Structure formats: structure tokens, C-alpha cells
């Protein structure tokens, strides 16, 4: 059984970060009850490629590399860096498809939250649901951009460079478009792919 001191420690950690700050105390208490702290050494894998993990992770110390697959070569490359306060892994649950791959850039500490319990709170509590729906990940953008890459004619020579440039350009466009609610998968011109299983995006509504 979790001690009161450990639960209080997790509770204070959750409330340090914008994603969970000022949420109803019930939500924070429930998250604290089900969570555990984990540590990763530099180079250790947090989220495996093409796998929806059982837990999501709130980064509280260190940095995590967010990776995508090169559409030309069989390799993973960095599309972003997660810093303390970011929740890693829940995008996969929201989209019901594996988007995020993550490896520790340096020694890191994280709070592990079981996805099944997090989903229960997501369904029951609108306040939490609205926060989690706002999550963004460059991994998701990269996976959608990989599909767009395949449509290019002629095909760019460097798939990795093309995706990184598109993510950067698209982020700048998003920042300029005031008053529009932006989701992590909103690539300008491909809004119809938002919230779809990216490997089966042609499914009907």
C-alpha cells in the first residue's frame, strides 16, 4: 500500500506542471494512488517503436528524445526533445495507434501512470479530458508526414531532413494562426487525418 508521504510527494509533483496544475484534488489524489516513479539511464528505451505501452510517463527530471522512423531508410531519428512537465505516451492511447518512440537523452526520472486507469479518469472527468486532449507530439506529426512524403513527386532525396523541415515550418504556421484550436496531428492541409488511426486513415467517419 502506498504511504501517505509518498502519495503526497506524487501529488505535489503533478501540481508542479501546467498539464495537471489546479486540477480538482480528486483527480490529483487518484493519479497519485496509481503512479510509481521510474528512472532511466542515458540511452535506455522508454517507449518502443510501433508499440502502445501499458503506461504513460510524466517526465520530472532529465530529457527524453522523441523519435520517428525515416521513410526511406530503416532507422529512427530525433524529431523532438521532451523536458520536465511533458506527458509521454498518452498520444498513442488517444489515437489508438503507435506514434511515439522515446529514448532517454540523459539520466531521467519519470512518474509512470497506468494507461487503463488514466483512461478511466479521462472518461469520468471533463477537466482532465480537456487537458489531455491538448497534448502535442512531434512523433505524431512525423508519422502523418511520412504518409504525405510517399505522395511527393518527385520524392525528396532525404526523408529525414524533409520531415524535420516540415515539422518546423508547420509549427511556425500554427503559431501564426491565432484563435484556432490546434491538435498535435494538425498538419496544415491534412486536417482530415486528425484523430484517425494513421495506418488506416482512409476509414470512413
Nearest C-alpha neighbor of 100 from the set 168, 147, 154, 45: 45
Our separate counts of H helices and E strands in the chain read 7, 8
CB 59 within 8 A of CB 82: yes
- Mean residue pLDDT of the chain comes to 83
Alpha-carbon distance of 178 to 78, in angstroms, equals 28
Query: What are the b/e assignments for 184-196, b being 16+ CB within 10 Å?
Result: bbbbeebeebbeb
Determine the pLDDT at residue 187: 45
Q: Between residues 190 and 6, which one has the greater pLDDT? A: 6
pLDDT tens for residues 27-70? 999 999 999 999 999 999 999 999 999 999 999 999 999 999 99
Percentage with pLDDT > 90 across the chain: 58
Determine the pLDDT at residue 7: 65
Alpha-carbon distance of 112 to 48, in angstroms, equals 15
| pTM > 0.95: yes or no | no
> How many CB atoms sit inside 10 A of residue 76's CB?
15
CB 2 within 8 A of CB 33: yes
pLDDT tens for residues 80-108? 999 999 999 999 998 888 889 999 999 99
Determine the pLDDT at residue 33: 92
Determine the pLDDT at residue 168: 85
What does the pLDDT average to over 13-37? Answer: 94
Statement: residue 192 has pLDDT above 90: no
Determine the pLDDT at residue 188: 47
Q: Could you tell me which residues come within 8 angstroms of residue 109 by beta carbon, excluding any fewer than 6 positions away?
A: 37, 38, 39, 40, 59, 60, 61, 62
Statement: residue 205 has pLDDT above 70: no
What does the pLDDT average to over 170-184? Answer: 50
pLDDT tens for residues 125-151? 999 999 999 898 999 889 888 888 888
Amino acid at each position: 500500500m502506498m504511504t501517505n508521504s509518498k502519495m503526497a510527494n506524487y501529488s505535489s509533483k503533478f501540481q508542479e506542471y501546467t498539464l495537471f496544475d489546479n486540477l480538482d484534488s480528486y483527480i490529483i489524489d487518484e493519479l497519485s494512488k496509481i503512479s510509481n516513479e521510474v528512472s532511466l539511464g542515458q540511452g535506455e528505451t522508454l517507449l518502443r517503436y510501433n508499440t502502445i505501452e501499458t503506461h504513460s510517463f510524466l517526465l520530472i527530471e532529465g530529457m527524453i528524445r522523441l523519435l520517428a522512423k525515416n521513410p526511406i531508410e530503416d532507422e529512427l531519428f530525433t524529431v523532438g526533445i521532451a523536458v520536465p512537465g511533458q506527458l509521454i505516451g498518452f498520444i498513442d492511447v488517444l489515437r489508438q495507434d503507435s506514434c511515439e518512440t522515446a529514448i532517454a537523452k540523459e539520466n531521467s526520472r519519470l512518474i509512470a501512470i497506468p494507461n487503463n486507469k488514466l483512461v478511466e479518469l479521462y472518461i469520468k472527468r471533463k477537466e482532465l479530458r480537456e487537458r489531455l486532449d491538448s497534448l502535442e507530439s512531434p512523433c505524431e506529426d512525423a508519422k502523418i508526414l511520412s504518409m504525405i512524403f510517399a505522395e511527393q513527386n518527385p520524392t525528396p532525396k532525404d526523408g529525414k531532413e524533409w520531415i524535420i523541415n516540415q515539422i518546423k515550418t508547420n509549427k511556425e504556421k500554427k503559431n501564426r494562426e491565432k484563435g484556432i484550436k490546434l491538435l498535435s496531428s494538425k498538419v496544415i492541409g491534412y486536417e482530415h487525418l486528425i484523430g484517425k488511426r494513421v495506418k488506416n486513415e482512409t476509414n470512413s467517419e
